[in-house]
Structure 1
Amino acid sequence: MKNLPTRDRLLTEGLRLIHEQGFGNTTIFHIVKAAGVSADAFDEHFACKEDFALQVLDVYFANGRATVDATLRNDDLPPLDRLRQYLALNLAHLDRDGMRNGCLYGNFAAEGSDYSDLIRHRITEIFEYVAQSISYCLRAAAQTGKLRPRLEYDEVANFAVASLQGAILLAKAQRSPVPVLQFERSLFSLILA
C-alpha cells in the first residue's frame, strides 16, 4: 500500500472505509489516517468530501463495469448464462465480507443521495448503465429464442436492478445470501420463464 501514489492510497482506503462504515460515518480524518498521509495530501487531490466520494464511486464502478463487460455484455456467452454469471459474481463479491457491506451503489443511494445531488445523479447513471446492460442481455436471449420476443426488456431490466438492490439490502441485514438467491430464482422461474 505504501508503494501506491498518495491519491490511489486515499481512494483505496477511502473506498474500503466508506463501504465498511458508510459515507456519513467516514470522515476525512479517518481516510487520511488509514492511508497514512496528511490532511494536506487529501486537499491536494480532492476539492472536498463530495469530490472524493464521486471518485470513489468511479473506482468502484470501474470494477463493476469490468464485471458487466465479462458477463452481461459478453457476446461470446449464451445470454441467460451471462445473467446468471453476473448474479453469481455479485453474490461472490458480497460474500467476501459475509454480506456485511452490501453494495456501495445501494449504500450511496440510501445515504449519499440526500447529501449531494451530484452523488445522487452519479448513482442514477450507474444504475441506468446496469439496467441497459441487463436489457441488452435480455434482448440477446430473445433473439436466440430463449425468451419470449414481446417481453418489455427495459422494464424487466429496471425491475431486476431495483429488486437486486433490495435483495442485497436484505442480505446485508440478515448476513445471509438467501435474499439474493431467492431474487435469482424468482427472476428466472417467474419473470423470464
Structure 2
Amino acid sequence: MSIQSTTRDMLISEGLRQMLAHGYEGIGIGPVLSAMNVPKGSFYYFFKSKDDFVLSILDAYEARYRTMREALLADPNLTSLQKLDRYFEVIEEELLDHHPSGGCLYGVLAQTVTARDAAIRTRLARSYETWHAAIVEILEGARKAGEIDATSDTAELATDIIDAYEGTLIRMKATDDPAAFRRFRTRTIPRLLSVAMVQSTATP
C-alpha cells in the first residue's frame, strides 16, 4: 500500500470516528488533521471539500460492512437466521468495543446532515437501500429454507429490523445503556421473526 493510500485511509478512519461521536455538523477538518498530524494541503489533495470527505467516509463504511455480510452469507455451516444473528452479534461486539462513541454512520448522518446537503442525502438513501436489500437477501434465504413462513413479506420484515436497530442505537446514546443492543438482538429480532414463523409452525 502506498503512503498516499495510507494517509487517505487514516483520514477516513479518523473522520468516521469523529463523525460518529459528533455528527456531521460537529466534525471539522481541522481536528481531523490535528489528530492525524496531516497538513491541510494533503487533505485537499485527497478530498475536494468536507462533503466530498463525508461521501468518501460513507463509501468506505458501506464497503466494510458489505465485505463482512458477504463473508457471513458464504458460510455454509450457518442457516440464514443464524447468519442474521451472527451479523448483528459482530456489530454488537464492535459497538461495545467503541462505546459510547460508536454507532451507525447512516443514523448519525440522517439525524445531523443539513437540508442543503443534497448529495449526501441522496447517497445516504442509496446506502440504506443497499443495506435493506442485504437484509432481505438473508431473510429470503430463511423463507426458502422454511425457517420463516413462505408467505412472509421479507421486505417489510427487513424494514422493521432496520428501524428497530436505529432506534436501539439512539436509546444507547441517550441512556448510556450498552445492554440495549443485546436486548435488540436477543429479544426484539426474535419477536419480529416470530410473527413470520407463527404461520409456519401452525401449518400441518
Normalising by structure 1, what TM-score?
A: 0.89
Match of 2:95 in 1: 94
Q: Percent identity?
A: 28
Tell me the distance in 2 between the aligned counterparts of 1:191 and 1:9.
39
Deviations 1:1-25 (A, max 9, x none): xx66332232222222222222211
Instruction: Give the Cα–Cα distance (whole angstroms) in 1 for the partners of residues 69 and 95 of structure 2.
Output: 16
CA–CA distance in structure 2, aligned partners of residues 186 and 82 of structure 1: 16
Partner of 2:167: 166
Report the counterpart of residue 181 of structure 2 in structure 1: 180
CA distance in 2, matches of 1:105, 1:41: 27
Give 1:40's aligned residue.
41
The structure having more radius of gyration, on CA atoms, is 2
Q: Distance in 1 between matches of 2:18 and 2:184?
A: 28
Match of 1:79 in 2: 80
Q: Is the 8 A contact 1:68 1:130 kept in 2?
A: no
Which residue identity lines up with residue 175 of structure 1 in the other structure? D
**Higher mean Cα deviation, 49-58 or 169-178?**
169-178
Alpha-carbon contact 2:161-2:192 (below 8 Å) kept: no
State the secondary structure of the residue aligned to 2:25. Answer: coil
Q: Distance in 2 between matches of 1:140 and 1:5?
A: 38
* Kept after mapping to 2: 8 A contact 1:101/1:172: no
Residue 116 of structure 1 and its aligned partner are, at CA, apart by 1.2
State how 1:17-28 maps to structure 2 within 5 Å: 17-28=18-29
Residue 191 of structure 1: aligned partner: 193
Equivalent residue runs for 1:104-183 within 5 Å: 104-112=105-113, 114-183=115-184
**More helix, by proportion:** 2
1:102 aligned partner, one-letter code: G
| Equivalent residues of 2:24, 2:113 under 8 A apart | yes
- Cα distance in 1 between the residues matched to 2:114 and 2:50: 14
Instruction: Identify unmatched segments of 5+ residues in structure 2.
Output: 198-204
Deviation at 1:96, TM superposition (A): 1.1
The size of the alignment, in residue pairs, is 190
Residues 52-111 of structure 1 deviation map (CA, whole Å, 9 limit, x = unaligned)? 00001111212211222123x336221000010011111111111224332112111111
TM-score normalised per structure 2: 0.84
Could you tell me how far apart the structure 2 residues matched to 1:32 and 1:171 are? 29
* Separation (CA, whole Å) in 2 of partners of 1:115 and 1:33: 27
Q: In the alignment, is the contact (CA less than 8 A) between 1:79 and 1:140 conserved in 2?
A: yes
The alpha-carbon distance between structure 1 residues 174 and 19, as it changes in their structure 2 partners (threshold 3 A), is same
For 2:26, what is the secondary structure of its paired residue? coil
